[in-house]
Every structure is written in C-alpha cells, then in structure tokens.
C-alpha cells in the first residue's frame, strides 16, 4: 500500500498527528471544567471563546502565503510547536481574557497543522490509498487520545490543572521540534500552486465544507458543556468518556476508510448526516444522562465519515490545486464556525435546546446537498 518513497512522509504524519492529538485532547478534556471551576465562565463566555478558537481556521488561507517562504512540511511541524505552547500556557491564565489569548495560540497551531496535514496526505497518496491513510491516522489519533485520557485521569488525582496543561503542552512542543528537523518529501509530487484557488467546479466541496463547519462547531462548543453544566459531569467522568469514545474509534476508523473506497463518498456522507439529525434532536429533547453520553460517542464515530468530503475533492481536483484548496476549504469551513458559537451561546441563554435544533436543521440541508455527489464509479471516471 505504501511505497518506500512514501514511508518518510507517513512517519512524519504519524508523529505530528499523534502530537497534535495529544495537545488538542488535553485542551478539550480539561477546558470546560477548568473554565467553569477555576475561571468561573458562563455559557456566553464559553461561546465567545469557542468563536475565538475558530478564528485561526478562518485565516487558514493565509497558509498559502506562508508557504511562499517556508516549505509545507516545516509549516506543519511549526504549527505543532505552536499548539504545544498554547496548551502549556492555558493553565497559567485562568481568566476570560487569558483564555482567549491562550486559545488563539493553541488554535493557530492546531488549524494550520490540520490544513497542512490534509494537504500532504492528499498530495503524497493516491485516491485509492488516501482514505486508508486518513482512516489509519484517525485510528492512531483515537489510540493516542486514550493514552492522553488515561494520563490525565491519573494526573488529575494528584496534580492541578496548571501542571497538567504545562506538562502535556511541553511534550507536544518537543514533538513539533523533532518534525522541524525532518525532510520527508520526495520529488515525484506535483508542484502546488502558490496562490489562492477558487473554482466553480469545486462548489459542492465548498458548500459541504461550509455546512460541516457550522454544524460541527455547535457540537464542539456545546456538547461537553451540556454534559458539564446540565448533567453535572465531573472532570473524571469527562475524561473517562473521552477514553471510551476513542476506544470505539480506534477500531472503527480504519473500517470507515475502507468503506469510502468500497461504497463511495455519497453513501458514507448520507449515513453521517442522517445520523447527525437524530443525534442533535436527542441532545435537544432527551434528559437522560446515559443517552446523551451515547450520542456523544456516536457523534464522534460519524465525525470520521467526513474524511469522504476530502477524498471526494481529491477525485475531482487538479493535483496542483490540493494545497491551496485545503487552505481555502479550511477558511470556508470556519466562516460559519467563527460566528456560530457566539450565536449559539446567546441562544443557549434563552434555551439550551435551541443550538441543537439548529444543528439538526444544518444536518438536513447537508444530507440533501450530498445527493449531488455522483456514484463512486462516476466520480472515479470524471
């Protein structure tokens, strides 16, 4: 499946992906409890920070211009360093303003890594292999998340939030520094355009990416907050939930990659969006803690199906468009993501169910739109 020429890039992606997951999972597992228990933030403030977290994603198109002066794989590693620094600093500033600043640092690192990570995967692996690589990296991410969850569970018994953020963030930054010292590239890759690319024939990809950003941010900003605020989950319970969730995804992620290859993007994405409609409605109208926890795990399983948006784009795109288009796609994804957490936070103050109903509506629109993707054999031949 992977040639000797591709192995250095795969190794690079594996290490940097694992490091980015360590940093992000630490931040996600600890942040809501840290925000409520230590910083004393309310729902609106959490929503504002959720929007601030997505500003770097909105600015992802600037990566095209950064790559004029730094090679893409080095930008990827540098982003991991930044993610580690932002994570390490989070526990040192337990205030609304402090968390806005550290969240921005962490988020610039995460979003620029994700942009380059997706781009490098699509460039270095063909459309028969990339879904499998994405699935393998998602499985690795899940396994890494389990380790992080268990580590934080044990550390939480003896250490403060400050120590946990600082320790994990430092480890992430060290892995990014390792990446800066590597050169996993080879010459048999199509040179990428170094300018912003927008093409009409990519419009379905742009639309699905936009809707995914709006819908996903409702989940990111409010699902764990729902468990903490409404169902009073402790940091230990949230940590164990993350571990259980990632144990499931460790086994399922490679299967999802294979399903995309076998059944095509339209069928896989239709399953995702149909499931999300039900999940958001359950969040809104079911008051049973165990059911909400199950929906949270199911949502994370369906999130892996979104690989199909990128593999669909790989099949219809010109090879030299991949890097700039991934950056533009991230920006499009975050247009709605920047404003949705703030709007959702305001709606939460009226009734916490409203943001989840909006998420269900977005999922319905996405389900209708994805029917425009041709059958798998037609995409491959176009």
**Could you tell me the domains of the chain?**
7-182+199-381 (1.20.1250.20)
Chain-centroid distance of CA 250 in Å reads 16
The Cα–Cα gap between 170 and 360 comes to 38
Specify the DSSP class assigned to residue 37: I
Residue from 80, 66, 88 nearest 109 by CA = 80
Angle between helices 96-124 and 130-156 (to 10 degrees): 150
pLDDT at residue number 378: 47
Distance, in Å, from the CA atom of 81 to the CA atom of 312, rounded to the nearest integer, reads 31
Cα distance between residue 341 and residue 183, in whole Å: 38
Q: Helices 203-229 and 235-263 sit at what angle, rounded to 10 degrees?
A: 160
Q: Can you give the pLDDT at residue 279? A: 94
Torsion sign, CA atoms 382, 115, 300, 248: positive
Neighbour tally for 285: CB within 10 Å:
10
CA dist., res. 14 & res. 8, Å (int) = 10
Residues in the chain where the model's pLDDT stays below 70: 1-2, 4, 190-195, 337-338, 376-382
The per-residue pLDDT for 2 is 67
User: How many residues would you count in the chain?
Assistant: 382
Q: What CA–CA distance (Å, rounded) separates 172 from 24?
A: 10
pLDDT for 180:
92
Q: 3-class SS at 121?
A: helix
**Distance from C-alpha of 326 to C-alpha of 237, rounded to nearest angstrom:** 36
């Amino acid at each position: 499946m992977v040639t000797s020429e591709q192995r250095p890039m795969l190794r690079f992606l594996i290490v940097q992906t694992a490091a980015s997951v360590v940093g992000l999972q630490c931040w996600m597992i600890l942040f809501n409890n840290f925000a409520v228990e230590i910083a004393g933030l309310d729902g609106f403030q959490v929503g504002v920070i959720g929007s601030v977290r997505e500003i770097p994603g909105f600015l992802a198109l600037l990566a095209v211009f950064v790559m004029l002066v730094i090679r893409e794989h080095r930008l990827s590693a540098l982003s991991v360093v930044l993610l580690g620094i932002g994570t390490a600093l989070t526990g040192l500033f337990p205030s609304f303003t402090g968390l806005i600043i550290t969240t921005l640092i962490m988020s610039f690192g995460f979003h620029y890594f994700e942009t380059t990570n997706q781009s490098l995967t699509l460039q270095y692996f063909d459309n028969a292999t990339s879904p499998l690589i994405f699935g393998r990296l998602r499985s690795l991410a899940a396994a890494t998340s389990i380790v992080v969850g268990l580590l934080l569970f044990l550390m939480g018994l003896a250490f403060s939030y400050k120590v946990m953020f600082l320790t994990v963030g430092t480890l992430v930054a060290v892995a990014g520094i390792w990446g800066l010292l590597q050169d996993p590239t080879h010459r048999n890759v199509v040179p990428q355009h170094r300018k912003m690319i927008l093409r009409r024939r990519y419009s379905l990809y742009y639309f699905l990416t936009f809707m995914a950003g709006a819908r996903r941010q409702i989940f990111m900003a409010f699902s764990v907050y729902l468990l903490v605020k409404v169902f009073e989950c402790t940091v230990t319970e949230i940590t164990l939930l993350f571990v259980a969730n990632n144990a499931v995804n460790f086994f399922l992620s490679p299967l999802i990659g294979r399903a995309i290859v076998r059944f095509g993007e339209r069928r896989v994405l239709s399953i995702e969006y149909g499931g999300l409609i039900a999940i958001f409605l359950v969040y809104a109208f079911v008051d049973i803690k165990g059911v909400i926890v199950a929906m949270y795990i199911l949502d994370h399983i369906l999130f892996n199906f979104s690989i199909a948006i990128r593999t669909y784009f790989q099949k219809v795109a010109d090879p030299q468009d991949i890097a700039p288009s991934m950056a533009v796609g991230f920006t499009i994804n975050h247009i709605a993501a920047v404003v949705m957490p703030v709007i959702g936070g305001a709606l939460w103050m009226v009734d916490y169910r409203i943001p989840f109903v909006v998420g269900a509506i977005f999922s319905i629109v996405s389900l209708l739109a994805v029917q425009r993707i041709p059958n798998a054999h037609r995409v491959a031949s176009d």
